[in-house]
Amino acid sequence: MRKRMGDFFIEKTERLKDGEGTTTVVNFFDKTDFAGKGRLYGISIIEPNGSIGEHCHEGDQEAYYILDGIGEYSDNGEVYTVEQGDLLICRDGDRHSLKNIGLHDLRYIALILYTD
């Protein structure tokens, strides 16, 4: 199988998980591509001052690989700055959030796989 950029489904969400601003997701896969093993693989983009609100993962886990920008990441309440090259993992049952604290878009690859 091969997909080209024009094949990707792009979704824009306002106030994702009660965060701020707009988050854009360029979905590499649709749900059928995961064979029941996951629900998201793509590039996410958070605009300056935007965020994804704190939320808990239940029945799945999520990984972020930061491509560009600077963010503030909350990992079960522990907050730290993240930047290009950082890998973040939110395990099943854990909580996290991400805020763009830079002047440009925060871009990262996101992968959500089911744990059950």
Q: What is the pLDDT of residues 52-111, one digit of tens each?
A: 999 999 999 999 999 999 999 999 999 999 999 999 999 999 999 999 999 999 999 999
Can you read off the two tokens belonging to residue 11? 């979704």
Residue 32 pLDDT greater than 90, yes or no: no
Instruction: Check if the beta carbon of residue 62 is closer than 8 Å to that of residue 15.
Output: no
* Domains with residue ranges and CATH for the chain: 5-114 (2.60.120.10)
CA atoms of 34 and 51, how far apart (whole Å): 27
Q: Tell me the two tokens of residue 6.
A: 């024009």
- pLDDT recorded at residue 30: 86
Give 54-91 as a DSSP string: EEE-SSEEEEEEEEESEEEEEETTEEEEEETT-EEEE-
pLDDT value at 116 more than 90: no
Count other Cβ atoms within 10 Å, centred on residue 103: 9
Instruction: State in Å, rounded, how far the first CA of the chain is from the last one.
Output: 27
For residue 20, give the DSSP letter: S
